[in-house]
Structure formats: structure tokens, C-alpha cells
Amino acid sequence: MTEKNKTVGGTLYLVATPIGNRADISERALKVLSEVDFIAAEDTRNSGLLLSHYGISKPFVSYHEHNKYERGEHIANRLESGESCALITDAGTPAISDPGEDIVALCAARGIPVSSIPGACAAVTALSMSALPTRRFVFEGFLPPDKGERRRRLALLANETRTVILYEAPHKLKRTLGDMLSAWGDRRISICRELTKLNEEVIRTTIAEAVRLYEENDPRGEYVLVIDGAAEAATADEYPEDPEAHVQSLMDEGLSRMDAIKAAAKARGLSKGAFYKQLLAESEAE
């Protein structure tokens, strides 16, 4: 990259790449990939094929789970010396459930600029087509592989009212569905498979039905699971007695003040107007 047309020297660019369909890469992503000094890739072979499809040839360094500490230091040193680097991970947005997370933290700690070139992300792609509530959601990535830790994580999520998004490998899917059914009972689930690929499929069903389905069919391909949150009623009786504290607790969970007032009124079996009067009376009394 010559000094004249350099995008920004010494910056780490997180470049989102397709999660299946090669055409899902932005013009800006291709521009950055063709302008940086070098590319750090989780899988240099796969990324080499993608880049050669777009006529881009660049020096590669590998950066993955098993060399991320030593290689992260090496990349950060080169960035500090003024080179620019694009990080691409196996697929999708770097740093989302992949080792990109570590190099971003390292660069931030060393004051190295990081810039994200947005694009495909399997979690958001699945959520958008899940037909489940999308306004409030929680992304949990992969569940812990250890049985005890996985069950503890699921128990912690049992009263989560936001839509839950999980990544899962095909050979662990049956086990995860069984564990979810035991921990949460039956719920709506959208099983999103092979997104953006030829065999893209979304199965909108319930966890119990999904357990039955995979007793007869072996899971194949890449999966994102989108699961309905717990019913609001399950936690409604746990609200703070003080009306303002109740509203604040819902705002702390991410609701706007208006939505928090509506939800608190509903949980107390009051109309919005009646609950609003209680809030006003309380603030005037203070």
C-alpha cells in the first residue's frame, strides 16, 4: 500500500466476510482487503480462495485459537510500526464467537486504532428470519462444552425474557435441545441452518418437537438456534413494590421508559393511566 492512497496506517480492520454466499461481501470490504499491507486470517486456505475469487493477492499471516497470543503480539507490533492489517475470520464478523475478540482487546489496550467493516453475521441473519420477537435479544454464542457448566448456564437463562440466540455444532445439537427442554420446558424455537447457502432452511417449531425431529434425522451443516424468551408472567410476581423502582428495574433490562411503564402497569394488573397516577403521586410526595 503506497503512502499516497493508504486508507489509514497502523489500523486493524475487522472485515466481515460471507457466511455462505460469496456475493455477501461489501464493496468497502473488498477495497480495504486490496489496500491493507497484510491480512490476518483464521483459515488462510479458505480466505485465499475467497480473495483470489475477487482478484486480490496479499501477504497472509495465520491467526487462530491456537496461536492467538503469540501471533496477536506479532500483528500488534507490525501495526505499531505503521503497517495496516485486515483481520478475517472463518466466516462472518470477526470477534463474534471467534478469536478476533482477543486481538481487538490487545489493540485497544495498546492504543492501536481498530475499525470494523460491517457485513454478514450468522446470529443477526438468523434472528431476522426467526419470526420470534427481535426487539430485545441476548446472544449467548456457544454453550460451554462441559456438561455441568452447560446446565448451569441454561439454568441462569431460564427466566431470561429476551429472545435467546445460540450457535451450535451439528454433532452437539441433539444434546443441546435435550438439555434446553429439561432446563426451560417447551418453548418456540427457530432452527436456522446453512444460512445464505443452497440448502438454507429455517424450522420454526418447539423444543420438544425439535427433539423428536432429530431422533429420526441426523443434524447436518451449520446451525443457529433462536429461542423464545421466558414468558413475562414467570417473573412478573418478582417486581419491586415501589412503582418507580419497578420501572427502573425494567429500564435496567433495556426497556425504554415508556415501555417500562407499560410493562410495569401490566404486571400489576393496572391500566397505564392508573399506574402513571401512582408514579406521579409518589414523585410529588418526595
What residue type is assigned to position 261 of the chain? Answer: I
Residue whose C-alpha cell is 435479544 = 137
- Segment lying near ligand SAM (by CB under 6 A), choices 51-59, 91-99, 108-116, 245-253: 91-99
Q: Which is nearer to ligand SAM, 75 or 88 (CB)?
A: 88
Pattern 230-269, binding to ligand SAM, x per CB under 6 A? ----------------------------------------
Using CB under 6 A, pick the residue from 39, 104, 112, 122 that binds ligand SAM. 122
- 53 or 257: CB nearest ligand SAM: 53
Q: Which of 32, 31, 28, 85 is nearest to 60 (CA)?
A: 85
Residue from the set 41, 85, 103, 121 that interacts with ligand SAM by CB under 6 A: 121
Backbone angles phi, psi at 91, to 5 degrees: -165, 155
Q: Is 229 in the site for ligand SAM (CB under 6 A)?
A: no
Q: Cα–Cα distance between 265 and 119 in angstroms, integer? A: 39
Instruction: Give least dist CB 94 to ligand SAM, A.
Output: 6
Enumerate residues 32-61 that contact ligand SAM by CB under 6 A. Answer: none
CA nearest to 147, candidates 113, 119, 195, 182:
182
For residue 219, give the nearest of 201, 237, 232 by alpha carbon: 201
Question: How far, in Å, are 122, 138, 176, 195, 249 from residue 192 at the CA level?
Answer: 9, 16, 15, 7, 33
Which of 91, 165, 261, 263 is close enough to bind ligand SAM by CB under 6 A? 91
The values of phi and psi at residue 74, to 5°, are -60, -45
Cα separation, 80 vs 59, in Å, equals 18
Q: Which residue is nearest to ligand SAM (CB)?
A: 92
Residue 228 binds ligand SAM (CB under 6 A): no
Is residue 102 close enough to count as binding ligand SAM by CB under 6 A?
Answer: no
Task: Name, in order, each residue with C-beta under 8 angstroms of 33's C-beta and a sequence gap of 6 or more.
Answer: 15, 39, 51, 54, 56, 58, 86, 88
* Residues in contact with 28: Cβ distance below 8 Å, sequence separation at least 6, in sequence order: 117
Give the nearer residue to ligand SAM in terms of CB position, either 88 or 261: 88
> Which region among 77-85, 101-109, 156-164, 166-174 touches ligand SAM (by CB under 6 A)?
166-174
In this chain, which of 34, 44, 62, 196 binds ligand SAM, going by CB under 6 A?
196
What does the block give as the cell for 43? 483459515
Q: Which stretch binds ligand SAM (CB under 6 A): 110-118, 189-197, 204-212, 227-235?
A: 189-197
> Is 164 a residue that touches ligand SAM (CB under 6 A)?
no
What residues make contact with ligand SAM under the rule CB under 6 A?
19-20, 89-93, 96-98, 121-123, 167-169, 192, 194-197, 222-224
